[in-house]
Amino acid sequence: MLRKETIPLYKKVIDDLKTAIDKGFYKKGALLPSENDLCKTYSTTRVTIRQALSGLINMGYIIRKHGKGSIVTEPKKGLGILSFAGVTAGVGDHKLNTLILQPQVKQPWPLDFFYELNKVELTKGCIYFTRLRQIDGVPVLYEETYITNINLPRFTSKKLENVSLFKTIKDHYNIDILTGEQKIWAVNGDKTVSKLLNIKTSQPIIHMKRRLQTNINDLNIYSSLYCNTQEYFLQDFF
Amino acid sequence: MLRKETIPLYKKVIDDLKTAIDKGFYKKGALLPSENDLCKTYSTTRVTIRQALSGLINMGYIIRKHGKGSIVTEPKKGLGILSFAGVTAGVGDHKLNTLILQPQVKQPWPLDFFYELNKVELTKGCIYFTRLRQIDGVPVLYEETYITNINLPRFTSKKLENVSLFKTIKDHYNIDILTGEQKIWAVNGDKTVSKLLNIKTSQPIIHMKRRLQTNINDLNIYSSLYCNTQEYFLQDFF
DNA sequence: GGTTTGCGCTTGTGTATACAAGTGTGATCT
DNA sequence: AGATCACACTTGTATACACAAGCGCAAACC
C-alpha cells in the first residue's frame, strides 16, 4: 500500500478539485472557486493554490482567464496516449468493458522482446497479462502488457477487470506515468489476433507498441496492442 | 512582428534557457545552473525561477531531480503529434523530403468537410494544399491540409518544399499551435491514394484526421493524412 | 578496506505580502 | 437611454523568507 505519511497540500488540492470535476460537481464551462476562496478553504496562500491549479492546467482539467477565473474544460485523455472514442461523439465509458484473457503472471522477459531492456529489468523479470477491450460486447482492442517486476507486492492477485490499470498502480503503489513512446503501424492481423478481434485476416488493423516510463527506476510498462478501427477509431488530444 | 512592450521575467528566463539548450550550450543529460545560481543571474527569487523551470518541464526540455538539479532531456517532438521515425533508430531528417502536389490555393471549404466548422471559419474560407513526404525517394505519407484563411497575407506564395509548416507560420505570422486532436484508422487505400503512395490497394495504411488549434481565434489547421507503414512507422513521444 | 556520519549542495513545499492588469457590474453623468 | 467611470473581484507577476528532504562526497570511524 505504501500510503504516504504526509501528502503535500498542493497535491491534496489537485486531488480534491480533480475528483470534484470528475464527479461532475463542477461541470464543463463552470468556474472553480477563486484563488482567494481556495486559500481560505485550505488555510494557505496563493502560491500553493496556484501550484495546484497549474497542475490541473497541465492535466487539461481547466484553463484560466485573466480577470475571470479557472474554467473547467474537457479533461485530456491521459498523457497523449491514444485512447478510444466512438464514431459518434457520445460514446461513454459505460459501454466499454475489459476482459482479462491471461491474468497476471510472473515470468522472465520473452527472448525476442520488442524493446531493449537494461540489466536491472532483465534480472527482475516481468509480470505479463493480456486484456481484451470490448464496446457493446464487440471486441475492439487486444493488449499484451509487460511490467517490470519491481515493488509490486500482490499485484498478481489484483483484479484488473473493468478498472484502469494506471489508476490501480497509482492507488496501490503510488506509481505515476512520467513519459512514454508509442509506435504505430497498419497491418493485417495474424490468425490469432484476427480471431480474438472477430475479424477476417484481410481486415486492416492498427498495431501499436508502447513503452511507458514511471517514477520508479527501471519500472517500465510495455505493451503491444492490436486495434480494430472498423467501427471505432483511436483518438488523441494534446 | 508584434513585439511585447515588456515581457515577464520568467518568460525571459524560459526563452534564454530554451535557446541555450537548442543551440547545444547545454547538452542532453547536462545540468542547468541551480535555482539559486539563476536567482543571482537574474536578480530574482526562487519562485520566479521555479515558474520558468516548470515551463521548461512542460515543454519537455528538462526533468528535475530532487537533490540533484535540472537535467536537460531530448525535447518532445512537437506536441505529441505523431511524427515519423525509421525502423532503424538512426533515420535522420536529411533522408526525408517534402513534395508539394497541390500548391496553396484559396477556396471555400469542401461541402462535406471532415470537421464541423464555425461561422467565422465558413465565412473566411480556407487555404488548401497537398504534400507528399518521401524517405529516400519512396513516398510514405500523403497529406491534405486546410487552413482557415485569416491573417495569412502572401501565404499562397510561400514555398513549402522541404520546410516545416509549423516553423513557417510561426516565423512569418507568429502563430503557435496550442492544442490538437487526431483520429486514427487502419484502412485499405483507395486507388488515388494507393497510386500516390505507390502501393497495392490491399496494403493496409494508416489514415489520420487532425485538427490543430492555434493562438489566433478561428484559425485552425485541419489535415487528412495517409501513411504507408510497411517500412517505416509513426512515432509519438510524450 | 569498508562503513558510517556529517555537511553542503540541490530541489520540494509552504507562508506572507505587494502591485499590475483584465473583467464585469452598477452608479453616475450627460 | 446611452455612454462613462469607479470599484470590486479576478488572475498575473514578483519579492523575501523558512524549513524539509534527497543527493553526493569527503572526513571520520571501526
Nearest residue, CB atoms, B186 vs list A183, A186, A235: A186
Are B206 and A183 a contacting pair at CB < 8 A? no
Which of A20-29, B82-91, B225-234 is predicted least confidently?
B82-91
Nucleotide whose C1' lies closest to the alpha carbon of residue A49: C14
- What's the pLDDT score for residue A78? 35
Nearest nucleotide to A69 (CA to C1') is D10
Query: D27 C1' – A177 CA distance, angstroms?
Result: 40
**Cell numbers placing B82:** 505523431
* Percent of chain B surpassing pLDDT 90: 38
Chain B nearest CA to A135, separation (Å): 16
Q: Which residues contact B204 (CB under 8 A, 6 or more apart)?
A: A186, A187, A188, A204, A205, B186, B187, B188, B229
Rg over alpha carbons for chain A, rounded to the nearest Å, is 20
The CATH superfamily label for domain A83-235 reads Chorismate lyase-like (3.40.1410.10)
Q: What is the pLDDT of residue B76?
A: 46
Name the least confident of B72-76, B147-151, B219-223.
B72-76
Residue in chain B nearest A84 by alpha carbon: B183
What DSSP designation does A31 have? B
Residues forming CATH 3.40.1410.10 domain(s) in chain B: 83-235
Find chain A residues with C-beta within 8 A of B194's C-beta: none
Does residue B74 carry a pLDDT above 70? no
As a whole number, mean pLDDT of residues B113-141 equals: 84
Cα torsion A33, A35, A37, A43: sign? positive
What does the pLDDT read at residue A129?
A: 94
User: Residue A186: which of B181, B206, B238 has the nearest Cβ?
Assistant: B206
Q: Does the structure show a pLDDT above 70 at B75?
A: no
Answer yes or no: is the ipTM higher than 0.85.
Answer: no
> How many Cβ atoms sit within 10 Å of the Cβ of residue A75?
16
In the predicted structure, residue B65 carries a pLDDT above the cut 70: yes
For position B117, what pLDDT does the model report? 79
pLDDT digits (tens, 9 = 90+) for B191-205: 999 999 999 988 999
Distance from CA of A206 to the nearest CA of B (A): 5
Q: For residue B4, say whether its CB is under 7 Å from any atom of strand C.
A: no
* pLDDT tier, B120 (very low <50, low <70, confident <90, very high otherwise): confident
- Maximum average pLDDT range among A151-155, B4-8, B142-146: B142-146
Q: What is the pLDDT of residue A6?
A: 76
Look at B174 and A20; give whichever has higher pLDDT.
A20
Residue type, B60: G
Q: Which residues from A are below 8 Å from B when comparing CB atoms?
A: 47, 54, 58, 79-82, 85, 178-188, 202, 204-206, 227, 229, 233-238
> If you average pLDDT over residues B36-57, what whole number do you get?
94
Q: Least CA distance to A189: which residue of chain B?
A: B204
pLDDT, tens digit only, all 238 positions of chain A: 434 457 899 999 999 999 999 888 999 889 999 999 999 999 999 999 999 999 998 877 888 989 999 999 865 443 345 554 433 323 344 366 888 999 999 998 888 788 777 767 888 889 999 999 887 788 888 999 999 988 888 888 888 877 778 878 877 887 777 667 788 889 998 899 999 999 998 899 999 888 887 777 778 899 999 998 887 788 776 6
Nearest neighbour of B204 by CB, restricted to A80, A188, A235: A188
What is the least distance, in Å, from the CA of B236 to any CA of chain A? 5
**Gap between the Cα atoms of A81 and B146, Å rounded:** 25
- Amino acid type, A93: D
For residue A218, the model assigns a pLDDT of: 79
Q: Where in chain A is the domain with CATH 1.10.10.10?
A: 9-72
Please determine, for residue B136, whether its predicted confidence score (pLDDT) is greater than 90.
no
For the structural domain made of B9-72, what CATH number should be given?
Answer: 1.10.10.10
B32 touches strand C (CB under 7 A): yes
Place of cell 492535466: A59
- Nearest Cα to A208, choosing from A232, A189, A195, A230? A189
Question: Residue A226 CB: number of other CB atoms within 10 A?
Answer: 23
CB contact under 8 Å between B233 and A184, yes or no, is: yes
DSSP string for residues in B8-58: -HHHHHHHHHHHHHHTTSS-TTPBPPPHHHHHHHHT--HHHHHHHHHHHHH
Query: Can you say whether the dihedral through the CA atoms of B85, B87, B88, B94 is positive or negative?
Result: negative
Residue B87 has pLDDT above 60, yes or no: no
Whole-number Å distance between alpha carbons of B210 and B78:
14
A62 contact residues in B (CB cutoff 8 A): none
Closest-CA distance of chain B to residue A183, Å: 4
Q: What's the rounded Cα separation, in Å, for the pair A149 and A118?
A: 13
Query: What CA–CA distance (Å, rounded) separates A11 from A173?
Result: 17
Q: Which residue did the predictor score with more confidence, B75 or B122?
A: B122
Question: DSSP characters for A107-122?
Answer: EPPPTT-SS---HHHH
Q: Is the CB of B45 under 7 A from strand C?
A: no
State whether residue A67 is helix, strand or coil: coil
pLDDT exceeds 60 at position B39: yes
Alpha helices in B84-219 (DSSP H): 119-124, 165-173, 191-197
Using the 8-state DSSP alphabet, how is residue A58 labeled? H
Nearest CB to B182 within list A181, A227, A236: A236
